[in-house]
Structure formats: C-alpha cells, structure tokens
Structure 1
Amino acid sequence: MKKINFRELYPDVYTTDFFVDVTEEVMETIRAAERAETAYERKMYRYKAQYSLDCENGIENAVLLKPQTPEMLLEEKQFQEYIAKCTHRAKPAEKNATYRKPRRVGV
C-alpha cells in the first residue's frame, strides 16, 4: 500500500494534508495520468499551441467536409434558385428589342 496526499491532487478542495492508503494499481494509474498531463503540456509548449488540442472549439469541424443531409441539399438548391431568380435579368421578348440600362435618378 502506498500513501498519497490528497492536497497534492486536489489543492482547491484539500487545504491541509490528507493522506490516504491506496493500492499499487491506483498509484500507478495516478502517476500515468500525471505523466500524460505533463507530456500534453510539453506538447502544447513545443508546438506553440495557444488553444487546446483536444477541445471541441470548431477547428476540427471547419476542416472536415461533412456529408450533407437531404434537407440541407434541398435548402441549398432552393437558395440557389432564389438567388438566380433575384439576379436574373429579364431577356428581351423580341430579337430586335434591346435592354435599356436604368437611368440614375436625382443626382
């Protein structure tokens, strides 16, 4: 059995020393977690990462192209049709008719 100090693991909760006996397996798990955290901090420092490498902050989502759902495809198609209608110039009815450019008003 090994003794660990909870004040070292949880300094916000335990302000004084609080020793607990734990098994070798638990102690090894705690040490492995500490080593992983130290390696993570070293990795962030080494690669000058100013953001969390594991955080769900949208960086991963911005890079990945996710497959669109049928609803998204339909909305996109309707939006493109709407834009095409709004920006489409009316074509002249006759071959000889010409399109008149609108005049500027009030300057």
Structure 2
Amino acid sequence: MAYQRRLSRHKAQYSLDCDDGIEYSACLHEPTPQELLERMETFLRLWNALNSLPEIQGRRIDAHIILGKSIKEIAEAEGVHEESIRQSIKRGLERMKKTF
C-alpha cells in the first residue's frame, strides 16, 4: 500500500504523447525569425572565439565540451597528464570569455 502511494506521488498521471493528456505539440515553440537570427549570431561569436584559440586548446575544448569526452579520455588519447588537459581547457575558456 505504501509503495503504491509513493509510486502515484512521483509519477505523472498524464502523458505528453497520449490523446487524453497534454498534447506534446502544444508544448513545442516555433522560434521567431528574430530568435533564429540571435541564435545564429551567438553561434558565430562562439565559433569565432573557439577558432581564435591555439589549435591544441581548441581541440581539447571541442572534445570535452562539445563531444562530451572526459578529461581522462582526452589525456589518454594525447598521452599527457590529466592536469595539463584540465589547465589547458580552463585557460582556453578564459581566453574565449575575453573574446566573446
């Protein structure tokens, strides 16, 4: 009985994909042309900031943040210590902040 009570408290009683619940399509928001333009400008600024870095820093930030690789994976692939990867990413992000 207690299990059923806990289960019902923590589970949604509707589905976003079912006809009898909240419609999933109603939750979607089409971006306006202004929002699309702002996203593109932000993307270009980030891309320029990333490309302004030295190749090694850019590659490490790309691998860690964009591709989702761990610092350990990057260090093993490059044959260097994890701390040097960590510091390189930190310095690169600081340089990107100045550019961005």
TM over 0.5: no
Name the TM-score, length of structure 2 as normaliser. Answer: 0.28
- For the pair shown, the structure with the greater C-alpha radius of gyration is 1
Name the TM-score, length of structure 1 as normaliser. Answer: 0.27
- Structure having greater relative contact order (Cα 8 Å, sep ≥ 6): 2
Return the structure number with greater strand share. Answer: 1
